Amino acid sequence: MIYMDRRDAGQRLARGLAHYRQDEPVVLALPRGGVVVAAEIAGALDAPLDLVLVRKIGVPFQPELAMGAVVDGRPPHIIRNDDIIAFSGISEEAFDRVCEAELSEIVRRRKLYLADRPHADVEDRVVIVVDDGIATGATTRAALEAIRERKPKKLVLAAPVAPTRTLEELKGLSDEIVCLQSHEPFYAIGFYYDDFRQVSDGEVIGILSKARRPETTISQT
Protein backbone atom coordinates (compact mmCIF):
# COMPACT_ATOMS: atom_id res chain seq x y z
CA MET A 1 0.00 0.00 0.00
CA ILE A 2 1.34 3.41 -1.00
CA TYR A 3 -0.11 6.47 0.73
CA MET A 4 -0.80 9.57 -1.31
CA ASP A 5 0.57 11.75 1.49
CA ARG A 6 0.56 12.05 5.28
CA ARG A 7 -3.05 13.24 5.34
CA ASP A 8 -4.14 10.13 3.45
CA ALA A 9 -2.19 7.97 5.91
CA GLY A 10 -3.81 9.76 8.84
CA GLN A 11 -7.30 9.29 7.46
CA ARG A 12 -6.69 5.57 6.96
CA LEU A 13 -5.26 5.22 10.47
CA ALA A 14 -8.22 7.14 11.92
CA ARG A 15 -10.59 4.47 10.60
CA GLY A 16 -8.59 1.83 12.46
CA LEU A 17 -8.80 3.86 15.66
CA ALA A 18 -12.46 4.92 15.40
CA HIS A 19 -13.50 2.68 18.29
CA TYR A 20 -11.49 4.89 20.67
CA ARG A 21 -13.67 7.94 20.06
CA GLN A 22 -16.00 6.99 22.92
CA ASP A 23 -12.99 6.86 25.29
CA GLU A 24 -12.22 10.58 24.78
CA PRO A 25 -8.54 9.93 23.99
CA VAL A 26 -5.61 12.32 23.83
CA VAL A 27 -3.57 12.26 20.60
CA LEU A 28 0.17 12.93 20.87
CA ALA A 29 2.24 13.51 17.74
CA LEU A 30 5.95 13.20 17.08
CA PRO A 31 6.97 16.28 15.08
CA ARG A 32 7.24 17.15 12.42
CA GLY A 33 5.78 14.61 10.01
CA GLY A 34 3.73 12.87 12.67
CA VAL A 35 1.76 16.05 13.31
CA VAL A 36 0.09 15.91 9.89
CA VAL A 37 -0.93 12.28 10.42
CA ALA A 38 -2.05 12.90 14.01
CA ALA A 39 -4.17 15.92 13.09
CA GLU A 40 -6.36 13.72 10.89
CA ILE A 41 -6.77 11.22 13.72
CA ALA A 42 -7.49 13.88 16.34
CA GLY A 43 -10.11 15.48 14.08
CA ALA A 44 -11.84 12.18 13.39
CA LEU A 45 -11.90 11.24 17.09
CA ASP A 46 -12.75 14.75 18.30
CA ALA A 47 -9.66 14.54 20.49
CA PRO A 48 -7.17 17.15 21.71
CA LEU A 49 -3.81 17.22 19.91
CA ASP A 50 -0.47 17.67 21.68
CA LEU A 51 3.17 16.92 20.90
CA VAL A 52 5.80 14.51 22.15
CA LEU A 53 9.09 16.36 21.74
CA VAL A 54 11.84 13.77 21.48
CA ARG A 55 15.37 13.99 20.09
CA LYS A 56 17.90 11.34 19.27
CA ILE A 57 21.25 11.62 21.06
CA GLY A 58 23.70 10.77 18.31
CA VAL A 59 27.32 9.64 18.57
CA PRO A 60 29.39 12.83 18.02
CA PHE A 61 31.41 11.44 15.09
CA GLN A 62 28.44 9.49 13.65
CA PRO A 63 25.29 11.50 14.45
CA GLU A 64 22.91 9.02 12.78
CA LEU A 65 23.97 6.33 15.28
CA ALA A 66 21.80 6.74 18.39
CA MET A 67 23.56 6.41 21.73
CA GLY A 68 20.35 7.50 23.42
CA ALA A 69 17.32 9.77 23.24
CA VAL A 70 15.76 12.53 25.31
CA VAL A 71 12.08 13.44 25.74
CA ASP A 72 10.67 16.77 26.89
CA GLY A 73 9.51 16.83 30.50
CA ARG A 74 10.24 18.03 34.00
CA PRO A 75 12.73 16.47 34.43
CA PRO A 76 13.54 15.33 30.88
CA HIS A 77 13.34 11.59 30.22
CA ILE A 78 16.75 10.35 29.06
CA ILE A 79 17.40 6.93 27.54
CA ARG A 80 20.94 5.58 27.21
CA ASN A 81 22.11 2.94 24.77
CA ASP A 82 24.97 1.67 26.90
CA ASP A 83 26.16 -0.84 24.30
CA ILE A 84 26.64 1.92 21.70
CA ILE A 85 28.22 4.24 24.27
CA ALA A 86 30.75 1.59 25.27
CA PHE A 87 31.45 0.43 21.69
CA SER A 88 32.02 4.03 20.55
CA GLY A 89 34.19 4.93 23.54
CA ILE A 90 31.96 7.86 24.52
CA SER A 91 32.77 9.52 27.85
CA GLU A 92 30.11 10.73 30.26
CA GLU A 93 31.14 14.30 29.50
CA ALA A 94 30.71 13.76 25.75
CA PHE A 95 27.30 12.13 26.27
CA ASP A 96 26.17 15.00 28.49
CA ARG A 97 27.30 17.61 25.93
CA VAL A 98 25.26 16.06 23.12
CA CYS A 99 22.30 15.53 25.44
CA GLU A 100 22.34 19.20 26.49
CA ALA A 101 22.45 20.29 22.85
CA GLU A 102 19.42 18.16 22.03
CA LEU A 103 17.61 19.49 25.10
CA SER A 104 18.24 23.02 23.84
CA GLU A 105 16.64 22.07 20.53
CA ILE A 106 13.64 20.64 22.39
CA VAL A 107 13.25 23.92 24.29
CA ARG A 108 13.42 25.84 20.99
CA ARG A 109 10.79 23.64 19.40
CA ARG A 110 8.53 23.77 22.45
CA LYS A 111 8.52 27.59 22.36
CA LEU A 112 8.11 27.67 18.59
CA TYR A 113 5.36 25.06 18.26
CA LEU A 114 3.45 25.27 21.52
CA ALA A 115 3.88 28.84 22.81
CA ASP A 116 1.19 29.09 25.50
CA ARG A 117 -0.70 25.91 24.57
CA PRO A 118 -1.34 23.77 27.64
CA HIS A 119 0.17 20.30 27.87
CA ALA A 120 -2.32 17.47 27.79
CA ASP A 121 -3.10 15.77 31.07
CA VAL A 122 -2.71 12.10 30.13
CA GLU A 123 -3.08 10.49 33.55
CA ASP A 124 -5.86 7.90 33.48
CA ARG A 125 -6.59 8.76 29.82
CA VAL A 126 -6.36 6.72 26.65
CA VAL A 127 -3.31 8.11 24.86
CA ILE A 128 -2.61 7.57 21.15
CA VAL A 129 0.98 8.26 20.09
CA VAL A 130 1.31 8.93 16.36
CA ASP A 131 4.15 9.20 13.85
CA ASP A 132 4.23 9.13 10.05
CA GLY A 133 6.22 5.90 10.12
CA ILE A 134 8.69 3.99 12.27
CA ALA A 135 12.19 2.95 11.22
CA THR A 136 14.66 1.99 13.96
CA GLY A 137 12.16 2.81 16.72
CA ALA A 138 14.69 4.68 18.89
CA THR A 139 12.68 7.90 19.24
CA THR A 140 9.40 5.98 19.41
CA ARG A 141 10.74 3.89 22.28
CA ALA A 142 11.83 7.01 24.17
CA ALA A 143 8.45 8.67 23.66
CA LEU A 144 6.51 5.61 24.86
CA GLU A 145 8.67 5.16 27.95
CA ALA A 146 8.31 8.83 28.89
CA ILE A 147 4.53 8.84 28.42
CA ARG A 148 4.15 5.61 30.40
CA GLU A 149 5.66 7.44 33.38
CA ARG A 150 2.74 9.90 33.20
CA LYS A 151 0.35 7.03 34.06
CA PRO A 152 -2.07 6.82 31.11
CA LYS A 153 -4.99 4.39 31.40
CA LYS A 154 -4.06 2.88 28.04
CA LEU A 155 -1.16 3.64 25.72
CA VAL A 156 -1.66 3.07 22.00
CA LEU A 157 1.00 3.41 19.29
CA ALA A 158 -0.30 4.28 15.81
CA ALA A 159 1.73 4.46 12.60
CA PRO A 160 1.03 3.92 8.90
CA VAL A 161 4.08 1.72 8.30
CA ALA A 162 6.98 0.12 10.18
CA PRO A 163 9.49 -2.73 10.02
CA THR A 164 8.05 -5.99 11.34
CA ARG A 165 11.05 -6.52 13.60
CA THR A 166 10.79 -3.05 15.14
CA LEU A 167 7.10 -3.56 15.93
CA GLU A 168 7.98 -6.78 17.76
CA GLU A 169 10.55 -4.88 19.83
CA LEU A 170 8.03 -2.17 20.73
CA LYS A 171 5.19 -4.48 21.77
CA GLY A 172 6.04 -4.43 25.45
CA LEU A 173 6.07 -0.64 25.64
CA SER A 174 2.45 -0.01 24.62
CA ASP A 175 -0.87 -1.67 25.30
CA GLU A 176 -1.78 -1.80 21.62
CA ILE A 177 -0.08 -1.11 18.30
CA VAL A 178 -2.18 -0.04 15.32
CA CYS A 179 0.05 -0.21 12.24
CA LEU A 180 -1.54 -0.53 8.82
CA GLN A 181 1.37 -2.33 7.21
CA SER A 182 4.71 -3.79 8.24
CA HIS A 183 7.53 -5.10 6.08
CA GLU A 184 10.75 -7.06 6.34
CA PRO A 185 13.01 -6.08 4.69
CA PHE A 186 12.01 -2.48 5.28
CA TYR A 187 12.87 0.42 3.02
CA ALA A 188 12.91 4.11 3.96
CA ILE A 189 9.58 5.43 5.28
CA GLY A 190 9.28 7.72 2.26
CA PHE A 191 9.23 4.66 -0.01
CA TYR A 192 5.65 4.02 1.11
CA TYR A 193 4.41 7.53 0.24
CA ASP A 194 3.85 9.24 -3.10
CA ASP A 195 4.36 12.60 -1.41
CA PHE A 196 6.77 12.59 1.53
CA ARG A 197 8.05 16.13 1.32
CA GLN A 198 9.52 17.61 4.49
CA VAL A 199 7.04 19.24 6.86
CA SER A 200 8.00 22.79 7.81
CA ASP A 201 7.83 24.43 11.22
CA GLY A 202 5.18 26.76 9.79
CA GLU A 203 2.98 23.82 8.83
CA VAL A 204 3.24 22.35 12.33
CA ILE A 205 2.30 25.70 13.89
CA GLY A 206 -0.62 26.09 11.49
CA ILE A 207 -1.97 22.61 12.21
CA LEU A 208 -1.74 23.11 15.98
CA SER A 209 -3.50 26.46 15.74
CA LYS A 210 -6.54 24.76 14.20
CA ALA A 211 -6.52 21.59 16.29
CA ARG A 212 -8.47 21.11 19.49
CA ARG A 213 -6.38 22.16 22.47
CA PRO A 214 -5.84 20.05 25.58
CA GLU A 215 -8.21 21.14 28.33
CA THR A 216 -5.83 21.00 31.28
CA THR A 217 -2.38 22.34 32.00
CA ILE A 218 -0.24 19.95 33.98
CA SER A 219 3.22 19.87 35.44
CA GLN A 220 5.09 17.13 33.62
CA THR A 221 6.90 14.55 35.68
Q: Where in the chain is the domain with CATH 3.30.1310?
A: 55-114
Distance between CA atoms of 87 and 98, rounded to whole angstroms? 17
> Which fold, 6-53+116-210?
Rossmann fold (3.40.50)
| Number of neighbouring beta carbons within 10 Å of residue 34 | 27
pLDDT at residue 115 in the model: 85
Across 168-196, average pLDDT: 96
Question: What CATH fold (topology level) applies to the domain 55-114?
Answer: Ybab; Chain: A; (3.30.1310)
pLDDT at 41: 98
- The C-alpha angle with vertex 104 and arms to 210 and 110, in degrees rounded to 5, equals 15
The per-residue pLDDT for 216 is: 56
The CA–CA distances, whole Å, from 205 to 50, 105, 197 equal 12, 16, 17
Q: How confident is the model at residue 218 (pLDDT cuts 50, 70, 90)?
A: very low
The model's pTM is 0.88
Q: Please give the Cα distance from 32 to 11 (Å, whole number).
A: 17
Confidence of residue 73 (pLDDT cuts 50, 70, 90): confident
- Full strand arrangement of the beta sheet holding 126-130: 49-51, 26-29, 126-130, 154-163, 176-183
Q: Looking at residues 8-32, what average pLDDT do you find?
A: 97
Ranges for all domains in the chain classified under CATH 3.40.50.2020: 6-53+116-210
Q: Tell me: pLDDT of 221 over 50.
A: no
